[in-house]
Amino acid sequence: MPAQPRPPRSRWASFIANSSEAKPRVLREQGNPAHRLRVEHNHDTILVHLSGEDGQGWTVIAVDRPTRRWAVGESARQLDAAEEAFRWPYSARSQLDPGRRTG
């Protein structure tokens, strides 16, 4: 697959929390609230959940905290993408490749 041309320069925007929520857990793109981001973690793993630009579909990045091995899962459902990404860093194959896109 040939490399895509670099996009033109533009201003960067941010993902922001809804300040009216007591404990906001989801960030939304400023100017595009359908585009969401959430990060969750435990002692061993960090999961970064990113919705599609239009709010449809999910990309989830799983990072094993001790080794920094990572994997990416994609699916229409957030849970399916998270399970796909989470499964790989802890499989026997992950010992061969420190990072991998699973989709």
Q: At 28, give phi and psi (nearest 5°).
A: -125, 145
Q: Per the structure, how many domains does the chain have?
A: 1
| Cross-strand partners of 49 | 38, 60
What six digits make up the tokens of 84?
A: 């796909």
Identity (one letter) of the amino acid at 72? V
Write out the H or E segment, with its range, that includes residue 46: strand 45-51
Three-state DSSP state, 23: coil
CB neighbour class for 50 (10 Å; exposed up to 12, middle 13-18, buried from 19): buried
Determine, yes or no, domain membership for 85: yes
Least confident of 53-57, 68-72, 87-91: 87-91
Determine, yes or no, domain membership for 82: yes
Range of the domain at 40: 18-101
Determine, yes or no, domain membership for 42: yes
Determine, yes or no, domain membership for 3: no
Q: If you average pLDDT over each of 62-66, 88-92, 98-102, which comes out highest?
A: 62-66
Task: Dump pLDDT digits (tens) for 25-69.
Answer: 999 999 999 999 999 999 999 999 999 999 999 999 999 999 888
